Structure 1
Amino acid sequence: MPSLSRGTYPFRWPFVIVAILLATVWILRTQSAPLGFSVQSYGHWINESVHYILFLPYSKRENEKLPVILFLNGYGENGTDGVKQLSNNFGQQIWELRGRFPFIVVAPQMSHDSSWAQPDSYIAQSAIEIVQ
């Protein structure tokens, strides 16, 4: 009977490593934006990209025109990670409507050093261009 000592089963470690890598990828995918959401970036013509979340309803058909909600985050959600802007104040009532009233959401994220009250901000300008 073979011994269970090290080296007896030389092909075991590659399988363990592959299993760990697959589990890591699965965990990272489940920690990203919720289903129906995708993190996008815009504004490559400037020094920085604007990160935003795009929500497309599952029932959207090609060439179907739907209303667009432009969600502007509060100051506490400013940043550059592209997902924090939906962490607070996103209107539970609005999300409850998505099954009965399909819509598209564009949620750009304002940078740490700016605000939506500054209309000349490149992020505010980019938000308008994204929706168009």
Structure 2
Amino acid sequence: MIRTVGLLHVVGRRLLVVRPRGKGAFYLPGGKLEPGEAEPDALRREVREELGVELAPDSVRPARRYLGPAYGEGDGVLVDLSCYTAEVVGEPHPSAEVAELALVTEDEYLAHPETAPVIVELLRDLRGAGQVA
């Protein structure tokens, strides 16, 4: 089981996703928790590392949680993704560990050659709620 956190950042009915260097699929900005680290702290750290921005104090709110197959980790490995919303301070830009950023609709994400199952499920839910196109 891989425990992760991710930022749900929607702009113009499109979800912000990142593609790490060396990976084919896009994910939510975020990542794995360090031992003893609280989820909101891990989210702030990972967003700072990946996007070069801060999250506004007291704006981090739990939103959704997903459990599913971990992309690229082999058969039977699951990812436990806790999603949060937060106010982003600054303009996100890719760091050294991120190959590219994208704002995607569900259909645009599904058109990529590689997708992460939990992100597909998340986008389906966001589209059903009218939050993304």
Q: Common fold, TM-score beyond 0.5?
A: no
TM bin, normalised by shorter chain, reads under 0.3
Higher helix share: 1
> Of the two, which has the highest radius of gyration?
1
Higher strand share: 2
Q: Please, what TM-score do these two structures have when normalized by structure 1?
A: 0.26
